[in-house]
A and B are shown apart, each in its own frame.
Chain A
Amino acid sequence: MATGLIRRAISRVQVTSQAARLLVGRSHASDAKAQPVESKPNLKSFQIYRWNPDNPGKPELQEYKIDLKECGPMVLDALIKIKNEIDPSLTFRRSCREGICGSCAMNIDGCNGLACLTKISSDSESTITPLPHMFVIKDLVVDMTNFYNQYKSIEPWLKRKTPAPTPGKEIPQSKSDRAKLDGMYECILCACCSTSCPSYWWNPESYLGPAALLHANRWIMDSRDEYTQERLDAINDEFKLYRCHTILNCSRACPKGLNPGKHIQNIKRLELSS
């Protein structure tokens, strides 16, 4: 906006001084007197986990070198660049590229996170592996069936015994009751937390994992839900809930900044007093 004003002011005044010509010239993109800048490519090597079900062997880390100057800032940008330019067979899940869908969850440099939200670190090497202790379908794609089944098993929907106070209208909820759900409803089910929990690694089928338990707490704390006691009894199991030893790796791993450990402690507290 400022350059436009300056341009109009100068053309009206018709000043042909050196400074004015420079200001006018700034609006043009091409400048014949520009010096060609010698840019050294900033190469970074990515060690990416590869395994092909069509040609099964031992999974391996394959190295790819990327010029960070020609690449976006996030790990997902690097992965897409590798897939476009170097190796189209690299397989990974991705969708929204903005950290809301949870598809691109993977283990980057030893920590779980979303590839679209993790900045490429300035180290010379990065290791990208799939989510830990999950069965690999291909390269960075893992089998999430067990994880989704555990989420389904806690019945993540509103259950009522009595009909709504005003039939056909929404069930009223006070602002303070709605505030109780903050920190739980934002979960995008990316599985970063559950796959960072060592307890979930050793008991993936019997322990529900931080994500499912966070959602269990979300429905337990919902004031509109009337099956609170039944929900608490359903998970009051030595394996489903009490495999949690408050290791708290889940809260460290969550890319959305949620705290599953705190909510699991809330469930344990409610179990004690019910």
Chain B
Amino acid sequence: MNILRPLSPHLPIYKPQLTSTFSISHRISGAFLATIVFFFYLLCLKIGLICFTYENFYQFFFYSSKLILISVEITALALSYHLYNGVRHLLTDFSGFFFRKKKIEMTVQN
């Protein structure tokens, strides 16, 4: 008798914990910042200011000019969050290195 067993619910039912929220926000902000950096690289370094001479491009920037302020705010939020959380990770994950440097005990009997 071949019955496919269901998988118990995970993401839909698990209560968002502080720890998991920090972790996923770090990942999302990191991905967001990476795309921002990539698009800025493409726009500023690859194409340059000549992009504004293309009509469609200029139209797009003109009509979305009001949104630029809010997206800059969001990017600043993502950057600051990612930075602080990164520093927190460095401090907590590598605390063992700094405090136990004097006596790195590998509990080997030889």
Residues of B within 8 A of A (CB): 3-11, 13-15, 17-20, 23-24, 89, 92-93, 96-97, 100, 104, 106-110
Residues of A within 8 A of B (CB): 49, 51, 53, 56, 58-59, 107, 109-111, 127, 129-137, 142-143, 177, 180, 196, 198, 201, 220-224, 226, 228-229, 245-249, 251-252, 265-266, 268-270, 273-274
Closest to B5 in A: A135
Chain B neighbourhood of A134, CB < 8 A: 7-8
Given contacts A110-B14, A228-B106, contact A132 B9 (CB under 8 A): yes
Closest to A250 in B: B19
**CB atoms of A177 and B107 under 8 A apart:** yes
Given contacts A180-B107, A269-B96, contact A246 B89 (CB under 8 A): yes
Most buried by B among A109, A137, A269: A269
The listed residue (B3, B13, B106) touching A107 by CB distance below 8 A is B13
**CB atoms of A229 and B17 under 8 A apart:** no
Chain B neighbourhood of A137, CB < 8 A: 5
**CB atoms of A223 and B107 under 8 A apart:** yes
**CB atoms of A223 and B6 under 8 A apart:** no
> Chain B contact residues: over half helix, strand or loop, or mixed?
loop
The answer for the CA separation of A127 and B14 in the assembled complex, in Å, is 11
The answer for the CA separation of A58 and B97 in the assembled complex, in Å, is 50
Chain B neighbourhood of A220, CB < 8 A: 107
**CB atoms of A132 and B19 under 8 A apart:** no
Closest to A112 in B: B14
The listed residue (A196, A248, A251) touching B14 by CB distance below 8 A is A196
Chain B neighbourhood of A252, CB < 8 A: 17-19
The listed residue (B92, B93, B109) touching A223 by CB distance below 8 A is B109
Chain B neighbourhood of A131, CB < 8 A: 8
**CB atoms of B23 and A129 under 8 A apart:** no
The answer for the CA separation of A109 and B7 in the assembled complex, in Å, is 18
The answer for the CA separation of A218 and B5 in the assembled complex, in Å, is 34
**CB atoms of B13 and A270 under 8 A apart:** no
Chain A neighbourhood of B24, CB < 8 A: 198
Given contacts A129-B13, A143-B5, contact A229 B108 (CB under 8 A): yes
30 contacts across the A-B interface (CB closer than 8 A): A107-B13, A110-B15, A127-B13, A129-B13, A130-B8, A132-B13, A132-B14, A133-B7, A133-B8, A135-B5, A135-B6, A136-B5, A143-B5, A196-B14, A198-B24, A220-B107, A221-B107, A223-B107, A226-B110, A228-B108, A245-B23, A247-B23, A248-B20, A248-B23, A251-B19, A265-B93, A265-B96, A268-B93, A269-B96, A269-B100
